[in-house]
Amino acid sequence: MHQFEIRRLIPLELFGFDASFTNSALFMAIAAAVITLAALFAMRNGSLIPGRMQSVVELSYQFVANMVRDNVGTEGMKYFPFIFTLFVFVLTLNMLGMVPYSFTVTSHIAVTFALAAFIFIGVTLIGFWKHGAGFLKFFVPSGVPFVMLPLLVVIEVISYLTRPVSLSVRLFANMMAGHTMLKVFGSFVVALGLLGGWAALAFMVAFTGLELLVAFLQAYVFAILTCIYLNDALHMH
Amino acid sequence: MPQLNPLDWAPQLIWLAITFGILYVLMLKIALPRIGSVIEKRAAKIAGDLGAAEKAKRDTEEALAGYEQALAEAKQKAHAIIEEGRAKLKAETDAERAKLEQELAAKSAEAAARIEKATEAAMKDINSVATDAAADIVRQLIGVAPSKADLEKAVTAARKA
Protein backbone atom coordinates (compact mmCIF):
# COMPACT_ATOMS: atom_id res chain seq x y z
CA MET A 1 0.00 0.00 0.00
CA HIS A 2 3.08 2.17 -0.16
CA GLN A 3 2.04 3.56 -3.52
CA PHE A 4 -1.14 5.07 -2.06
CA GLU A 5 0.61 6.94 0.72
CA ILE A 6 0.20 10.69 0.93
CA ARG A 7 3.54 12.43 1.43
CA ARG A 8 3.77 16.08 2.35
CA LEU A 9 6.27 17.66 -0.01
CA ILE A 10 5.76 21.23 1.23
CA PRO A 11 4.04 21.43 4.62
CA LEU A 12 1.55 24.29 4.67
CA GLU A 13 -1.19 25.47 6.94
CA LEU A 14 -4.12 27.61 5.85
CA PHE A 15 -6.74 28.97 8.27
CA GLY A 16 -6.00 26.15 10.66
CA PHE A 17 -6.35 23.51 7.96
CA ASP A 18 -3.54 21.29 6.78
CA ALA A 19 -3.03 22.54 3.22
CA SER A 20 0.31 20.87 2.63
CA PHE A 21 1.44 20.43 -0.97
CA THR A 22 1.43 16.64 -1.15
CA ASN A 23 2.39 14.15 -3.84
CA SER A 24 -1.35 14.00 -4.61
CA ALA A 25 -1.44 17.77 -5.11
CA LEU A 26 1.68 17.53 -7.26
CA PHE A 27 0.03 15.07 -9.63
CA MET A 28 -3.18 17.12 -9.75
CA ALA A 29 -1.07 20.12 -10.71
CA ILE A 30 0.84 18.05 -13.28
CA ALA A 31 -2.46 16.85 -14.76
CA ALA A 32 -3.82 20.40 -14.98
CA ALA A 33 -0.57 21.60 -16.55
CA VAL A 34 -0.39 18.69 -19.01
CA ILE A 35 -3.99 19.20 -20.13
CA THR A 36 -3.62 22.95 -20.56
CA LEU A 37 -0.25 22.80 -22.31
CA ALA A 38 -1.33 19.94 -24.57
CA ALA A 39 -4.48 21.80 -25.58
CA LEU A 40 -2.65 25.07 -26.19
CA PHE A 41 0.25 23.39 -28.00
CA ALA A 42 -2.07 21.36 -30.19
CA MET A 43 -4.22 24.36 -31.09
CA ARG A 44 -1.28 26.80 -31.54
CA ASN A 45 -1.90 27.03 -35.31
CA GLY A 46 -5.58 26.31 -35.24
CA SER A 47 -5.21 25.03 -38.77
CA LEU A 48 -8.20 23.93 -40.81
CA ILE A 49 -6.49 20.63 -41.56
CA PRO A 50 -5.51 19.33 -38.12
CA GLY A 51 -2.26 17.57 -37.34
CA ARG A 52 -2.04 14.57 -35.05
CA MET A 53 -2.07 16.51 -31.77
CA GLN A 54 -4.81 18.85 -32.91
CA SER A 55 -6.89 15.87 -34.04
CA VAL A 56 -6.63 14.29 -30.62
CA VAL A 57 -7.67 17.50 -28.86
CA GLU A 58 -10.53 18.14 -31.28
CA LEU A 59 -11.68 14.53 -31.04
CA SER A 60 -11.83 14.70 -27.24
CA TYR A 61 -13.70 18.00 -27.50
CA GLN A 62 -16.26 16.51 -29.85
CA PHE A 63 -16.38 13.27 -27.89
CA VAL A 64 -17.46 15.11 -24.75
CA ALA A 65 -19.65 17.56 -26.68
CA ASN A 66 -21.55 14.67 -28.27
CA MET A 67 -21.80 12.93 -24.92
CA VAL A 68 -23.38 16.02 -23.37
CA ARG A 69 -25.63 16.66 -26.36
CA ASP A 70 -26.83 13.05 -26.54
CA ASN A 71 -27.43 12.62 -22.83
CA VAL A 72 -28.54 16.06 -21.72
CA GLY A 73 -29.61 17.84 -24.88
CA THR A 74 -28.63 21.23 -26.23
CA GLU A 75 -29.55 23.08 -23.03
CA GLY A 76 -26.96 20.93 -21.27
CA MET A 77 -24.23 22.55 -23.41
CA LYS A 78 -24.11 25.27 -20.76
CA TYR A 79 -22.41 22.71 -18.52
CA PHE A 80 -20.17 21.36 -21.27
CA PRO A 81 -17.02 23.14 -20.00
CA PHE A 82 -17.48 21.56 -16.59
CA ILE A 83 -18.08 18.05 -17.95
CA PHE A 84 -15.14 18.44 -20.33
CA THR A 85 -12.84 19.56 -17.51
CA LEU A 86 -14.10 16.74 -15.32
CA PHE A 87 -13.54 14.12 -18.03
CA VAL A 88 -10.06 15.19 -19.08
CA PHE A 89 -8.99 15.78 -15.48
CA VAL A 90 -10.08 12.32 -14.29
CA LEU A 91 -8.74 10.70 -17.46
CA THR A 92 -5.37 12.39 -17.12
CA LEU A 93 -5.13 11.54 -13.42
CA ASN A 94 -5.94 7.90 -14.21
CA MET A 95 -3.43 7.78 -17.04
CA LEU A 96 -0.71 9.51 -15.04
CA GLY A 97 -1.29 6.87 -12.40
CA MET A 98 -0.28 4.20 -14.93
CA VAL A 99 3.24 5.63 -15.09
CA PRO A 100 5.53 3.59 -12.81
CA TYR A 101 6.53 5.35 -9.56
CA SER A 102 3.81 7.95 -10.08
CA PHE A 103 0.85 8.58 -7.81
CA THR A 104 -2.77 7.85 -8.67
CA VAL A 105 -4.84 10.72 -7.33
CA THR A 106 -8.13 8.99 -8.20
CA SER A 107 -7.23 5.99 -6.05
CA HIS A 108 -8.18 8.08 -3.03
CA ILE A 109 -11.80 8.02 -1.94
CA ALA A 110 -11.48 11.54 -0.53
CA VAL A 111 -10.82 12.96 -4.00
CA THR A 112 -13.40 10.92 -5.88
CA PHE A 113 -16.02 11.47 -3.20
CA ALA A 114 -15.38 15.20 -3.19
CA LEU A 115 -15.91 15.30 -6.95
CA ALA A 116 -18.99 13.11 -6.74
CA ALA A 117 -20.43 15.10 -3.83
CA PHE A 118 -19.82 18.37 -5.67
CA ILE A 119 -21.61 16.98 -8.72
CA PHE A 120 -24.44 15.58 -6.58
CA ILE A 121 -25.01 18.83 -4.73
CA GLY A 122 -24.67 20.90 -7.88
CA VAL A 123 -27.08 18.72 -9.84
CA THR A 124 -29.61 18.74 -7.01
CA LEU A 125 -29.41 22.54 -6.78
CA ILE A 126 -29.89 22.79 -10.55
CA GLY A 127 -32.96 20.56 -10.23
CA PHE A 128 -34.54 22.71 -7.55
CA TRP A 129 -33.52 25.94 -9.28
CA LYS A 130 -35.07 24.75 -12.52
CA HIS A 131 -38.26 23.09 -11.24
CA GLY A 132 -38.64 24.60 -7.75
CA ALA A 133 -40.42 22.33 -5.32
CA GLY A 134 -41.68 20.41 -8.36
CA PHE A 135 -38.34 18.69 -8.43
CA LEU A 136 -39.59 16.60 -5.50
CA LYS A 137 -41.92 14.88 -7.97
CA PHE A 138 -38.75 13.28 -9.30
CA PHE A 139 -38.96 10.93 -6.32
CA VAL A 140 -42.57 9.94 -7.01
CA PRO A 141 -42.75 7.34 -9.75
CA SER A 142 -45.76 7.75 -12.00
CA GLY A 143 -48.38 5.09 -12.65
CA VAL A 144 -47.95 3.30 -9.34
CA PRO A 145 -50.78 2.19 -6.98
CA PHE A 146 -51.28 4.70 -4.20
CA VAL A 147 -50.56 2.19 -1.40
CA MET A 148 -47.16 1.42 -2.89
CA LEU A 149 -46.13 5.06 -2.99
CA PRO A 150 -44.66 5.48 0.52
CA LEU A 151 -42.37 2.52 0.00
CA LEU A 152 -41.35 3.52 -3.52
CA VAL A 153 -40.66 7.12 -2.58
CA VAL A 154 -38.35 5.94 0.18
CA ILE A 155 -36.57 3.64 -2.29
CA GLU A 156 -36.26 6.45 -4.82
CA VAL A 157 -34.84 8.84 -2.26
CA ILE A 158 -32.35 6.27 -1.01
CA SER A 159 -31.25 5.43 -4.55
CA TYR A 160 -30.86 9.14 -5.26
CA LEU A 161 -28.81 9.66 -2.12
CA THR A 162 -26.50 6.74 -2.91
CA ARG A 163 -25.56 8.28 -6.24
CA PRO A 164 -22.50 10.17 -4.97
CA VAL A 165 -21.37 7.07 -3.06
CA SER A 166 -21.65 4.73 -6.04
CA LEU A 167 -20.14 7.34 -8.36
CA SER A 168 -17.09 7.92 -6.17
CA VAL A 169 -16.57 4.33 -4.97
CA ARG A 170 -16.73 3.00 -8.53
CA LEU A 171 -13.81 5.16 -9.65
CA PHE A 172 -11.80 4.85 -6.45
CA ALA A 173 -12.23 1.07 -6.17
CA ASN A 174 -11.38 0.45 -9.81
CA MET A 175 -8.20 2.49 -9.63
CA MET A 176 -7.09 1.11 -6.29
CA ALA A 177 -7.89 -2.52 -7.14
CA GLY A 178 -6.03 -2.33 -10.45
CA HIS A 179 -2.93 -0.85 -8.93
CA THR A 180 -3.00 -3.23 -5.98
CA MET A 181 -3.32 -6.16 -8.36
CA LEU A 182 -0.33 -4.97 -10.38
CA LYS A 183 1.62 -4.56 -7.16
CA VAL A 184 0.72 -8.09 -5.98
CA PHE A 185 1.72 -9.67 -9.29
CA GLY A 186 4.85 -7.53 -9.35
CA SER A 187 5.87 -9.07 -6.04
CA PHE A 188 5.13 -12.52 -7.52
CA VAL A 189 7.60 -11.83 -10.30
CA VAL A 190 10.28 -11.14 -7.72
CA ALA A 191 9.29 -14.01 -5.43
CA LEU A 192 9.11 -16.68 -8.15
CA GLY A 193 12.28 -15.48 -9.82
CA LEU A 194 13.42 -17.10 -13.09
CA LEU A 195 11.42 -20.25 -12.40
CA GLY A 196 7.88 -18.88 -12.62
CA GLY A 197 8.31 -15.13 -12.60
CA TRP A 198 7.84 -14.88 -16.36
CA ALA A 199 4.23 -16.11 -16.03
CA ALA A 200 3.41 -13.39 -13.52
CA LEU A 201 5.25 -10.89 -15.71
CA ALA A 202 3.25 -11.92 -18.78
CA PHE A 203 0.07 -11.51 -16.78
CA MET A 204 1.21 -8.06 -15.67
CA VAL A 205 1.82 -6.99 -19.25
CA ALA A 206 -1.66 -8.06 -20.25
CA PHE A 207 -3.18 -6.60 -17.12
CA THR A 208 -1.46 -3.27 -17.71
CA GLY A 209 -3.25 -3.13 -21.06
CA LEU A 210 -6.51 -3.82 -19.32
CA GLU A 211 -5.72 -1.16 -16.71
CA LEU A 212 -5.20 1.42 -19.47
CA LEU A 213 -8.64 0.52 -20.75
CA VAL A 214 -10.10 0.77 -17.25
CA ALA A 215 -8.42 4.14 -16.75
CA PHE A 216 -10.20 5.47 -19.83
CA LEU A 217 -13.44 3.67 -19.15
CA GLN A 218 -13.78 4.91 -15.59
CA ALA A 219 -13.19 8.49 -16.66
CA TYR A 220 -15.83 8.00 -19.34
CA VAL A 221 -18.29 6.40 -16.90
CA PHE A 222 -17.72 9.21 -14.42
CA ALA A 223 -18.43 11.83 -17.07
CA ILE A 224 -21.42 10.08 -18.60
CA LEU A 225 -23.06 9.45 -15.21
CA THR A 226 -22.61 13.13 -14.47
CA CYS A 227 -24.40 13.84 -17.75
CA ILE A 228 -27.23 11.46 -16.82
CA TYR A 229 -27.65 13.01 -13.38
CA LEU A 230 -27.65 16.45 -14.98
CA ASN A 231 -30.27 15.30 -17.46
CA ASP A 232 -32.43 14.04 -14.57
CA ALA A 233 -32.17 17.42 -12.92
CA LEU A 234 -32.97 19.37 -16.09
CA HIS A 235 -35.67 17.14 -17.57
CA MET A 236 -36.79 14.90 -14.66
CA HIS A 237 -36.43 11.63 -16.64
CA MET B 1 -5.22 1.71 3.77
CA PRO B 2 -3.74 5.20 3.54
CA GLN B 3 -6.99 6.31 1.89
CA LEU B 4 -8.83 6.12 5.21
CA ASN B 5 -6.53 8.43 7.14
CA PRO B 6 -8.64 11.54 7.87
CA LEU B 7 -5.54 13.65 8.43
CA ASP B 8 -4.71 13.29 4.72
CA TRP B 9 -8.10 14.41 3.50
CA ALA B 10 -7.84 18.15 4.00
CA PRO B 11 -4.70 18.73 1.90
CA GLN B 12 -6.10 16.57 -0.89
CA LEU B 13 -9.45 18.34 -0.95
CA ILE B 14 -7.91 21.81 -0.80
CA TRP B 15 -5.56 21.08 -3.66
CA LEU B 16 -8.28 19.32 -5.62
CA ALA B 17 -10.37 22.48 -5.38
CA ILE B 18 -7.42 24.67 -6.38
CA THR B 19 -6.20 22.58 -9.34
CA PHE B 20 -9.68 21.71 -10.61
CA GLY B 21 -10.76 25.32 -10.29
CA ILE B 22 -7.75 26.62 -12.17
CA LEU B 23 -8.11 23.93 -14.85
CA TYR B 24 -11.81 24.72 -15.22
CA VAL B 25 -11.13 28.42 -15.72
CA LEU B 26 -8.31 27.68 -18.19
CA MET B 27 -10.56 25.34 -20.18
CA LEU B 28 -13.55 27.69 -20.02
CA LYS B 29 -11.72 30.87 -20.94
CA ILE B 30 -8.87 29.75 -23.18
CA ALA B 31 -8.77 26.17 -24.43
CA LEU B 32 -12.41 25.38 -25.21
CA PRO B 33 -13.19 28.64 -27.07
CA ARG B 34 -10.06 28.11 -29.16
CA ILE B 35 -10.92 24.50 -30.01
CA GLY B 36 -14.56 25.39 -30.61
CA SER B 37 -13.70 28.29 -32.91
CA VAL B 38 -11.37 26.12 -35.00
CA ILE B 39 -14.02 23.41 -35.34
CA GLU B 40 -16.64 26.02 -36.20
CA LYS B 41 -14.31 27.66 -38.70
CA ARG B 42 -13.75 24.32 -40.37
CA ALA B 43 -17.47 23.55 -40.42
CA ALA B 44 -18.16 27.01 -41.88
CA LYS B 45 -15.44 26.53 -44.47
CA ILE B 46 -16.78 23.14 -45.48
CA ALA B 47 -20.32 24.49 -45.66
CA GLY B 48 -19.10 27.48 -47.67
CA ASP B 49 -17.16 25.28 -50.06
CA LEU B 50 -20.12 22.98 -50.48
CA GLY B 51 -22.32 26.00 -51.15
CA ALA B 52 -19.85 27.35 -53.70
CA ALA B 53 -19.66 23.95 -55.37
CA GLU B 54 -23.44 23.78 -55.44
CA LYS B 55 -23.60 27.26 -56.96
CA ALA B 56 -20.94 26.41 -59.52
CA LYS B 57 -22.89 23.30 -60.43
CA ARG B 58 -26.06 25.32 -60.83
CA ASP B 59 -24.21 27.90 -62.94
CA THR B 60 -22.83 25.14 -65.10
CA GLU B 61 -26.26 23.67 -65.58
CA GLU B 62 -27.66 27.07 -66.46
CA ALA B 63 -24.83 27.70 -68.90
CA LEU B 64 -25.36 24.27 -70.40
CA ALA B 65 -29.08 24.91 -70.78
CA GLY B 66 -28.34 28.29 -72.38
CA TYR B 67 -25.83 26.70 -74.70
CA GLU B 68 -28.27 24.02 -75.70
CA GLN B 69 -30.97 26.57 -76.33
CA ALA B 70 -28.61 28.70 -78.38
CA LEU B 71 -27.56 25.61 -80.28
CA ALA B 72 -31.18 24.69 -81.00
CA GLU B 73 -31.91 28.25 -82.10
CA ALA B 74 -28.85 28.32 -84.29
CA LYS B 75 -29.82 25.00 -85.80
CA GLN B 76 -33.28 26.27 -86.50
CA LYS B 77 -31.90 29.44 -88.00
CA ALA B 78 -29.43 27.52 -90.11
CA HIS B 79 -32.23 25.31 -91.27
CA ALA B 80 -34.31 28.35 -92.21
CA ILE B 81 -31.38 29.90 -94.04
CA ILE B 82 -30.75 26.70 -95.91
CA GLU B 83 -34.42 26.40 -96.83
CA GLU B 84 -34.50 29.98 -97.99
CA GLY B 85 -31.30 29.56 -99.99
CA ARG B 86 -32.60 26.42 -101.57
CA ALA B 87 -35.89 28.07 -102.50
CA LYS B 88 -34.07 31.06 -103.93
CA LEU B 89 -31.70 28.87 -105.84
CA LYS B 90 -34.61 26.79 -107.12
CA ALA B 91 -36.41 29.90 -108.30
CA GLU B 92 -33.29 31.19 -109.98
CA THR B 93 -32.61 27.87 -111.60
CA ASP B 94 -36.19 27.63 -112.74
CA ALA B 95 -36.07 31.11 -114.22
CA GLU B 96 -32.77 30.35 -115.88
CA ARG B 97 -34.07 27.11 -117.26
CA ALA B 98 -37.23 28.74 -118.52
CA LYS B 99 -35.21 31.43 -120.17
CA LEU B 100 -32.86 28.91 -121.63
CA GLU B 101 -35.72 26.79 -122.86
CA GLN B 102 -37.32 29.84 -124.39
CA GLU B 103 -34.08 30.75 -126.09
CA LEU B 104 -33.57 27.25 -127.25
CA ALA B 105 -37.10 27.11 -128.56
CA ALA B 106 -36.58 30.38 -130.35
CA LYS B 107 -33.30 29.18 -131.77
CA SER B 108 -34.75 25.90 -132.86
CA ALA B 109 -37.71 27.69 -134.45
CA GLU B 110 -35.30 29.97 -136.22
CA ALA B 111 -33.25 27.02 -137.33
CA ALA B 112 -36.37 25.24 -138.53
CA ALA B 113 -37.34 28.34 -140.49
CA ARG B 114 -33.87 28.49 -141.96
CA ILE B 115 -34.00 24.86 -142.88
CA GLU B 116 -37.39 25.42 -144.48
CA LYS B 117 -36.05 28.32 -146.39
CA ALA B 118 -32.98 26.40 -147.39
CA THR B 119 -35.12 23.47 -148.44
CA GLU B 120 -37.30 25.77 -150.45
CA ALA B 121 -34.31 27.35 -152.04
CA ALA B 122 -32.82 23.96 -152.70
CA MET B 123 -36.09 22.81 -154.18
CA LYS B 124 -36.13 25.82 -156.40
CA ASP B 125 -32.60 25.11 -157.42
CA ILE B 126 -33.44 21.52 -158.09
CA ASN B 127 -36.32 22.65 -160.30
CA SER B 128 -34.07 24.88 -162.30
CA VAL B 129 -31.36 22.24 -162.48
CA ALA B 130 -33.93 19.66 -163.52
CA THR B 131 -35.37 22.04 -166.13
CA ASP B 132 -31.90 22.76 -167.48
CA ALA B 133 -31.03 19.12 -167.47
CA ALA B 134 -34.33 18.23 -169.16
CA ALA B 135 -33.81 20.96 -171.80
CA ASP B 136 -30.36 19.61 -172.49
CA ILE B 137 -31.58 16.05 -172.65
CA VAL B 138 -34.47 16.99 -174.97
CA ARG B 139 -32.15 19.00 -177.24
CA GLN B 140 -29.77 16.14 -177.44
CA LEU B 141 -32.54 13.70 -178.18
CA ILE B 142 -34.58 15.66 -180.70
CA GLY B 143 -32.38 18.52 -181.49
CA VAL B 144 -35.07 21.03 -180.78
CA ALA B 145 -35.07 23.10 -177.62
CA PRO B 146 -38.44 22.95 -175.90
CA SER B 147 -40.05 26.09 -174.61
CA LYS B 148 -39.26 27.03 -171.13
CA ALA B 149 -42.91 27.01 -169.97
CA ASP B 150 -43.45 23.48 -171.25
CA LEU B 151 -40.32 22.29 -169.58
CA GLU B 152 -41.24 23.77 -166.27
CA LYS B 153 -44.72 22.28 -166.45
CA ALA B 154 -43.29 18.88 -167.30
CA VAL B 155 -40.71 19.01 -164.55
CA THR B 156 -43.26 20.05 -161.95
CA ALA B 157 -45.57 17.25 -163.06
CA ALA B 158 -42.77 14.72 -162.91
CA ARG B 159 -41.66 15.78 -159.44
CA LYS B 160 -45.13 15.63 -158.18
CA ALA B 161 -45.53 12.08 -159.37
pLDDT digits (tens, 9 = 90+) for B63-104: 999 999 999 999 999 999 999 999 999 999 999 999 999 999
Average pLDDT over residues A162-183: 90
Residue A183 CA to residue A94 CA, distance in Å, equals: 16
Query: Residue-wise pLDDT tens for chain B (161 aa)?
Result: 777 777 788 888 888 899 999 999 998 998 888 888 888 888 999 999 999 999 999 999 999 999 999 999 999 999 999 999 999 999 999 999 999 999 999 999 999 999 999 988 888 888 788 888 888 888 888 877 778 788 778 877 887 76
Residue A183 CA to residue A2 CA, distance in Å, equals: 10
Q: Which residues in chain A have their CB less than 8 angstroms from residue B45's CB?
A: 48
Model confidence at A237, in pLDDT bands (50, 70, 90)?
A: low
B31 in contact with A, Cβ within 8 Å:
yes
- For residue A204, give its domain range: 2-235
Map out the domains of chain B as residue ranges: 11-160
Produce one character per residue of A146-182: b if its CB has 16 or more CB atoms within 10 Å, e if not: eeeeeeeeeeeeeeeeebbeebbebbbebbbebbeeb
C-alpha closest to that of A26 among A12, A8, A41: A8
Per the structure, how many domains does chain A have? 1
Instruction: Let me know: does A60 contact A42? Beta carbons within 8 Å.
Output: no
Instruction: Let me know: does A126 contact A233? Beta carbons within 8 Å.
Output: yes
3-state helix, strand, coil in chain B (%, to 5): 95, 0, 5
Specify the pLDDT at position B150: 81
Predicted-complex ipTM score? 0.87
A22: three-class secondary structure by DSSP: strand
pLDDT digits (tens, 9 = 90+) for A35-94: 999 888 888 877 778 888 888 888 888 899 999 988 888 888 888 999 999 999 999 999
Interface with chain B: mutation pick from A8, A37, A43, highest number of B CBs within 10 Å: A43
